[in-house]
Amino acid sequence: MNIGPKIGEGHTAEIFFRDNRLAVKLFRPGIPVQLAEAEWLAAQHVTRLVLPAPAARAREEWQGRPAIVYDYVTGIPLLTHILRSPWRLRRHARQLAVLHRDVHTHGGTGLPPQKAVLEHQIRSAPLLTDRQKAAVLARLSQLPDGAVTCHGDLHPDNILLTPDGPVILDWLTAHCGDPLADVARTVLMLRTGSLPGELPRPLQSLLQIVRRRFCRFYLHEYLRLADGTVEQVTAWELPVAAARLAEHVPEAEKQQLLLRVRTLLRWGAAD
């Protein structure tokens, strides 16, 4: 397998340019092969549905590391557009809502079941007691299964605006389930996702205001398109927040999530 210059990287993989039209996602050493396999299966599913995403072309290996070859896509992240033109916040929020709703119009058969994924994460959350986990899982068991394609981690930095239209990235966490659980995950990311620590405090405060407004606009527009209710989304907040605790997130965000989970449990959200 040949790879070109590195053009990006994340927690689990590095991205390399190849042949002017392809991008190679090379998983880091030590990343379980099962993770790469899960992404490959999700990528094939998305490609078959012709969703707005980079098409998956091949699965390869380089020096013992699994890799997936995608179409190379250029564009500007929606997050960058939001920061550059906050006066267009409502328009940007509508873009996210329309894209998300479009994803949810497709069946999810063949993808991992959403509630099984959430259950595994909740059981793996190191900051929760066994009693708290049991309470969250009891609440999860009462929620609908759903049967649509869900992204699992859709937020403005996972959307590229290209000359040919918006493209959704990072389908590793795609699963089959209830669309409003997927919306609850997006709302959680918008409300609690960590901001860069090196930003000046006044700028952090401004960004908090901007993203709260963006979240409100997004949720209103999605529910209008889907004919859903806020209550249907908030019903998923507890299990989604608890599951997030199993992920590699900054300590400050973990403490914020833990506080929210404990608050929801005290309010009787798991009864």
Number of alpha carbons in the 13 Å side-chain half-sphere of residue 143: 32
Series of mean pLDDT values for 10-residue runs along the chain (271 residues): 82 88 93 90 93 93 92 92 91 97 97 97 96 97 97 94 94 96 97 65 74 95 97 98 94 92 78 38
Same structural domain, 88 and 16? no
Same structural domain, 109 and 199? yes
Q: How many domains does the chain contain in total?
A: 2
Residue 123: domain span: 76-266
User: Is-above-0.85 flag for pTM?
Assistant: yes
* Distance separating alpha carbons of residues 223 and 247, to the nearest angstrom: 27
* Distance separating alpha carbons of residues 20 and 74, to the nearest angstrom: 11
Same structural domain, 66 and 92? no
Same structural domain, 11 and 124? no
Same structural domain, 67 and 85? no
* Distance separating alpha carbons of residues 44 and 65, to the nearest angstrom: 20
CATH number at residue 197: 3.90.1200.10
CATH number at residue 37: 3.30.200.20
pLDDT at 200: 65
* Distance separating alpha carbons of residues 270 and 251, to the nearest angstrom: 25
Q: Give the model confidence (pLDDT) of 174-212 as tens digits.
A: 999 999 999 999 999 999 876 555 556 666 677 778 889
